[in-house]
Structure 1
């Protein structure tokens, strides 16, 4: 298998979206299959920014959606999810993830925020809770607190959001698979977009379309 990035996955997600959490096992399976030949690039997407109303944790349709769609998929993908008792805004959580990425700790913080919300029911819109989550992953709490209070990464979140809107993204998870042009080609194949909590088979089908001659072996 190739040892340098040959295939790129640009992933837009939000920490208050259960389907984004449910896509993590699929992305892990995909990364395990392709190793260093795949580069996964995370992008922020705030589903309900100000002044869009947040969800009502007691709403009947929310509970029905979890029973009908989320709990069965969680069982299938071997994840423990519980309907959180709060429905916060995710802007600060997304900013914290950017901070963690710059600190070289994106993966543990990324997963810890999801777990804190969907397994432990914590309010990830609360700055103090975010700092505790990230500090447990090795992030400097004082530096993160300063960055969150000053909105250091607010523009980065907004830039990701604006780029997604240009692509026509209205919901997450949203994944774009792409590759570089092959030797002798002027242009690479058109990128392929996958919407929702797509199964790994959809990713494999996209790879076959991007690499009709077979994925290159290292």
Structure 2
């Protein structure tokens, strides 16, 4: 079973959703048979490489909301993050364009360390006040996951990786994805948003049942009627 996940590194609900999905997956009986693929999505492609202001400043400007409303919203998100063990620090968060970080994520996927790099990027952005638009910081994140420093630095402006990121954007549009996180299970079932863990478990169970329909074998030549199945039942009793 494959789960494709679209998310942005600069998306607070995407990190919360990652934790909730992991909890839901943990309660799924066939978790070892699940392949996870991370896909790129940008909530605001127009962001400059470096924004001169806080997360609250950015949201006030971008959404046109009153500052008090934005502060209330970020406090709510911080509380939700804490419930899944995350320590969001909006005061020190560095608002930056996530495009280069997405290229790093695609490089990580080629080396089988996408989940580790995704986790590190989200933590760096929301918990540790790291500038995810800074090439030096991205090299640090990549090398911590076992990638070569020169390969990471080259990847940040690599056109081929950039095309892979753009392909993710295009595929999201084809699916009609307008917000993240968004989960596509076996290209059939979609889950939108940072849902509770049990929602993910239910969705995984539904997808598994759909892909593995239960078939009850009947002995060759047996015929079942209103009064039972003979000689199948006789054979079963003989075996006792």
TM-score range, shorter chain: 0.7 to 0.9
Match of 1:167 in 2: 175
Match of 2:190 in 1: 193
Do the aligned partners of 2:183 and 2:192 also contact (CA within 8 Å) in 1?
yes
Do the aligned partners of 2:184 and 2:190 also contact (CA within 8 Å) in 1?
yes
Counterpart Cα distance in 2 of 1:52 and 1:88: 7
2:117 aligned with 1:109, yes or no?
A: yes
Match of 1:82 in 2: 89
CA drift of 1:17 comes to: 0.3
2:145 aligned with 1:137, yes or no?
A: yes
Specify which of 25, 30, 43 is matched with residue 31 of structure 1: 25
Match of 1:16 in 2: 10
Counterpart Cα distance in 2 of 1:167 and 1:17: 19
CA drift of 1:52 comes to: 8.7
Do the aligned partners of 1:207 and 1:215 also contact (CA within 8 Å) in 2?
no
- Residues 2-59 of structure 1, C-alpha deviations (whole Å, 9 max, x = no match): xxxxx32111011000111111222222333332222222111111113699795234
Change (3 A) 1:24 1:213: closer
Q: Which TM-score applies when normalising by structure 1?
A: 0.81
Unmatched segments (≥5 aa) in structure 2: 61-66, 215-240
Match of 1:42 in 2: 38
Unmatched segments (≥5 aa) in structure 1: 1-6, 180-190
Counterpart Cα distance in 2 of 1:166 and 1:214: 23
Do the aligned partners of 2:13 and 2:193 also contact (CA within 8 Å) in 1?
yes
Do the aligned partners of 2:48 and 2:96 also contact (CA within 8 Å) in 1?
no
Counterpart Cα distance in 1 of 2:40 and 2:72: 27
Change (3 A) 1:112 1:47: same
Match of 2:156 in 1: 148
- Residues 117-147 of structure 1, C-alpha deviations (whole Å, 9 max, x = no match): 1110111011111111111222101111112
Match of 2:204 in 1: 207
Specify which of 154, 172, 186 is matched with residue 178 of structure 1: 186
- Indicate the structure (1 or 2) with the bigger Cα radius of gyration: 2
Do the aligned partners of 2:4 and 2:183 also contact (CA within 8 Å) in 1?
yes
Do the aligned partners of 1:20 and 1:172 also contact (CA within 8 Å) in 2?
yes
Change (3 A) 1:143 1:212: closer
Do the aligned partners of 2:10 and 2:98 also contact (CA within 8 Å) in 1?
yes
